[in-house]
């Protein structure tokens, strides 16, 4: 049998990993000292803006997180102790997958799909995260390797070369319209937006307009999606 997709590629943080919970927990020491405690939605929107600004120029993601922490402290009106600059860096390896993620990934792997991650991350930080995921990935593409951050097209161009597949054979799955869905569509990939109903659809990412090919509420729905399109094992 043959089917449209050979590869299913994933954004990692926000899609596979619950980074919003991780971000909020990591910043709690700052929030506890703030004069006015912002709502989770306000804080995540601020994070999304600060992170995207820090990512306009290439620097390791560790430095991005430190800059975000510094600017977050300023916005909250609190002083940042030297050891607190790494609150996000030290927290990230402990961020956990969404509850259904490993089961869904295992099922996709068993169906014969090749799986990849395309992530705005340093390689060693991603390696720490992979310990929480129960399947081996066939390809990892990081911002560190591309020397740029999504939505810059260069990281998708690098991924496309490594995937060595026709655009129609790639399904890219992500939570962020800004970082992933919009640029992946520019490469002709099919896209699937993970819009979890209990979360703000933008969360810790900048707002953007893009038309995904598919929308799911969690990764289990991808199994039905690829099944309905008669996507078969490779």
Q: Distances from the Cα of 111 to the Cαs of 8, 12, 219, 224, 226, in angstroms?
A: 12, 21, 15, 12, 10
To the nearest 10 degrees (0 to 180), the angle between helices 19-26 and 40-54 is 100
User: CA 73, 177, 61 angle in degrees (round to 5)?
Assistant: 45
Q: Could you give phi then psi for residue 171, rounded to 5 degrees? A: -115, 120
Of 11, 18, 122, 180, the catalytic one is: 11
Q: Please answer whether residues 18 and 95 qualify as being in contact, where contact means their C-beta atoms are separated by less than 8 angstroms.
A: yes
Secondary structure E strands in the chain: 7-10, 114-119, 139-142, 170-174, 190-194, 214-216
Helix (H), strand (E) counts: the chain: 11, 6
Q: How far apart are CA 5 and CA 104, in angstroms?
A: 16
158 close to 141: Cβ distance less than 8 angstroms: yes
* Of residues 57, 58, 81, the one with CA closest to residue 69: 81
Compute CA 49 distance to the chain's CA centroid, rounded to the nearest angstrom. 15
Q: Where are the beta strands (DSSP E) in 97-156?
A: 114-119, 139-142
Active site residue 180: no
Q: Which residues are designated catalytic?
A: 11
């Amino acid at each position: 049998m043959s089917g449209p997709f050979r590869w299913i590629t994933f954004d990692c943080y926000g899609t596979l990993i619950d980074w919003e919970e991780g971000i909020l927990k990591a910043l709690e020491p700052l929030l506890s000292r703030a004069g006015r405690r912002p709502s989770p939605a306000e804080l995540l929107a601020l994070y999304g803006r600060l992170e995207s600004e820090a990512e306009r120029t290439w620097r390791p993601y560790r430095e991005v997180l430190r800059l975000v922490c510094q600017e977050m402290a300023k916005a909250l009106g609190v002083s940042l102790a030297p050891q607190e600059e790494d609150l996000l860096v030290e927290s990230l390896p402990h961020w956990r997958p969404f509850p259904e993620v490993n089961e869904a990934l295992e099922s996709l792997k068993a169906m014969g799909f090749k799986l990849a991650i395309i992530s705005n991350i340093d390689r060693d930080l991603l390696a720490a995260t992979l310990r929480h995921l129960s399947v081996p990935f066939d390809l990892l593409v990081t911002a560190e390797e591309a020397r740029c951050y999504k939505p810059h097209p260069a990281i998708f161009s690098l991924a496309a070369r490594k995937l060595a597949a026709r655009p129609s054979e790639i399904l890219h799955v992500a939570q962020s319209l800004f970082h992933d869905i919009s640029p992946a569509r520019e490469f002709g990939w099919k896209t699937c937006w993970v819009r979890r109903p209990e979360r703000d659809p933008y969360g810790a990412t900048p707002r953007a307009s893009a038309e995904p090919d598919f929308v799911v509420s969690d990764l289990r729905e991808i199994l039905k999606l690829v099944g309905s399109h008669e996507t078969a094992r490779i």
